Structure 1
Amino acid sequence: MGVVVDPEVPPEVAGMLRANAALLSRIRSGWVPPADARPGRFRSVSSVALLAATPGVVALMAVLLALSHPAAGFTLLGTFVFIVLVKIASISELPEHDVSRDREVYERARPYRDRYLLPEDFDRDAADVLTRAQRAIGSVLRSHVNAEGLLDGARNALMLPAQEWEIARLLAKLSALRAEHAALVSRGVAPEVAAVIEPLDRALATSEAAMIARVEALERYAGHVAEAERAYHARGQIEELRARLPRYEELLAETGADALAVPEIDRLAEDADHLEQVLRRSVRSAHEAFRYLES
């Protein structure tokens, strides 16, 4: 399901939000990435200490060699080199993706904290309903009949993402109320409160039914588009076959069998006309279903 973003959020910010669901979840829970999060700053103290120690180590090694203690001098040098190598290895193993990227996401997401929804905002039933809506919307927007302009592509591109956001927003609100309601009921309900709980139960159920009806309307629209899509592809195949007919007719004429082919050729033409009618009916039905969504 992923992150659902208000379609009015700028596209570059929306893309960033959708790509960082786990990080946004941590931020939502109260985690704040450090402001100074460049790897160089974390490594600066130890790196400077090593750099400052180098002249002293070299001088001490020279003294040991001058006092005829080469073993101690080389041991000191070896130890220092080992420490430097370990430091280099630790630097190289640090991940490229540092906290500065997390900070950038945090800063850019803050102004839009009420304009996106995370998977944890939905209970299981709400997530299922939202997934159905997203599947229907995606099938319409990805269809060839939409891309070819047989549907109203511009209106689809505007209205369907708005529908997804509105459905997601209401389902998130429904999920939150259901969770609060379940928590209250789980503590036990006094007889005096039961009379109030029952209409609240009905309100939640009625709201859920309304959302499901809305999603079913989207699914009906997607169904009409799918029918138009099938007719569109079939029509294309028939047209491709019709374009090849002269070569078949030529072959049949040369072999003396052309009289047998006439009924089949006529049937192919009828199939093409039939598919054209089916496509037009399907597109017309899709337009009617679209108008129903707007009402």
Structure 2
Amino acid sequence: MGVVVEPGVPPEIAGMLRANAPLLARVRSGWVPPVSPPAPRRRSPSSVALLAATPVVLALMAVLLESPAAPAGFVLLGAFMLVVLVKTSTLGEAPVIERPYERTVYEQARLHDGRYLLPDDFDEEARAVLLRAQRAIGGVLRSHVNAEGLLDGARNAVMLPEQEWEIARLLAKLAALRADHRELLDRGVAPEVAAVIEPLERALATSEAAVVARVEALERYAGHVADAERAYHAREQIEELRARLPRYEELLAESGADGLSVPELERLAEDADQLERVLRRSVSSAHEAFRYLEG
């Protein structure tokens, strides 16, 4: 299992968080990436050449202005001033500094703190329950019957990630409380405290059972979807065979053996109709299970 992200986080940020579990763990432990210093400005070779040529150009212009070629001096002066103006307009442009990727991840992790959960947030029991939920959700969302619109794909796309987040959030809380509870027991419990421990343990067990019940409801829904998926693929295969049926009938007719095998071939139509009914029942059961999840 990886990072679980709250559905409300923007998709591009959620993808970044899911892809950087080790880095998020370091941020959680207090690590801060260094801030990159601004890059020093360097004079370009053209700027150096322009500064070196300035005295020469000024001297040449002075000579030209005092001679009969004064108009050429004015042209040279104008051209030189244009070059100077263009160059000085670019000197104030600061270089573009790309922020290191680690710094970006760090800032997003801090900004969305509390909206993602890491593998370390779950103990072994919680991790096993969460994986069951994720398998069920993945099976539904990746199914062809969902993609083809036989289920309510839009509601699945919204509600199932919300279910995953809520289950993960509760399991992380359970894992933290279990760890605290075990630490307390390991230190030894005074007789006066023992009477309080039992109700707390019952509260933990009851809460865990409620979360597992949610996961089981997801698994039932995924089971109905899996039944519909099998019927969907079987129906596709039957329809493909039915499309080929005329070629088989033609071959049998030409070979004189059509009277022997036509009944078996005609059974394809009955199988297709039966699979259609199975598919409709499976989809209907999936819808019923989905309504149970909402309740």
* Shorter-chain TM band: 0.7 to 0.9
TM-superposed deviation, 1:173: 0.5
Say which SS state the counterpart of residue 113 (structure 1) adopts: coil
In structure 2, stretches of 5+ residues that fail to align are 42-97
Question: What is the match of residue 107 of structure 1?
Answer: 107
Alpha-carbon offset, residue 259 of structure 1: 1.0
Matches of 1:100 and 1:257, distance apart in 2 = 75
TM-score (norm 2): 0.79
Point out 4+ residue stretches in structure 1 off by more than 4 angstroms.
none
CA contact (8 A) 2:7 2:161 kept: yes
2:246 is matched by which residue type in structure 1? P
Partner of residue 239, structure 1: 239
Letter in 2 for 1:285: S
Give 3-state SS (helix, strand or coil) of 2:100's partner.
helix
The amino acid of 2:294's aligned partner reads E
SS of aligned partner of 2:188: coil
Matched residues in 1 for 2:26 and 2:186: separation? 28
Supply the distance in 1 between the matched residues of 2:259 and 2:288 (Cα, whole angstroms): 45
CA distance in 2 between partners of 1:196 and 1:265 (Å): 72
Alpha-carbon contact 1:37-1:100 (below 8 Å) kept = no
Structure 1 runs not aligned, ≥5 long: 45-97
What amino acid sits opposite 1:251 in the alignment? L
Shift of 1:37: 6.6
1:212 counterpart letter in structure 2: V
1:291 corresponds to which residue? 291
2:149 is paired with a residue whose SS is coil
* Separation (CA, whole Å) in 1 of partners of 2:263 and 2:124: 57
Query: Hey, what's the Cα distance between the residues in 1 that align with 2:206 and 2:15?
Result: 34
Query: How far, CA to CA, are the matches of 1:110 and 1:219 in structure 2?
Result: 34
- What is the match of residue 259 of structure 2? 259
Pairing 1:167–2:161 present: no
Name the residue aligned to 2:150: 150
Q: Distance in 1 between matches of 2:37 and 2:230?
A: 53
Counterparts of 1:8-47 in structure 2, within 5 Å, are: 8-36=8-36
Aligned residues: 239
Looking at structure 2, the residues matched to 125 and 107 of structure 1 have their Cα atoms a distance apart, in angstroms, of 32
Q: Give the aligned partner of residue 77 of structure 2.
A: none
Q: Alpha-carbon deviation of 1:10?
A: 0.5
Distance 1:213 1:108 in 2: 34
CA contact (8 A) 1:231 1:279 kept: yes
Letter in 2 for 1:270: E
| RMSD, aligned CA | 1.6
Tell which structure's C-alpha radius of gyration is larger: 2
Q: TM-score, normalised by structure 1?
A: 0.79
1:1-295 matched pairs, under 5 angstroms:
1-36=1-36, 100-295=100-295
**Contact in 2 for aligned 1:33/1:99 (Cα 8 Å):** no
User: Match of 1:223, as an amino acid?
Assistant: G
* Alignment check: 8 A CA contact 1:227 1:282 kept: yes
Tell me how far 1:107 sits from its aligned partner.
1.0
User: Identity over aligned residues, as a percent?
Assistant: 78
Task: Rate the CA distance shift 1:186–1:99 in 2: closer, same or farther, 3 A.
Answer: farther
Deviation at 1:262, TM superposition (A): 2.1
Structure-2 change in CA distance of 1:184 and 1:37 (3 Å):
farther
Residue 266 of structure 1: CA displacement? 2.2
Contact 1:5 1:165 in 2 (8 A): yes
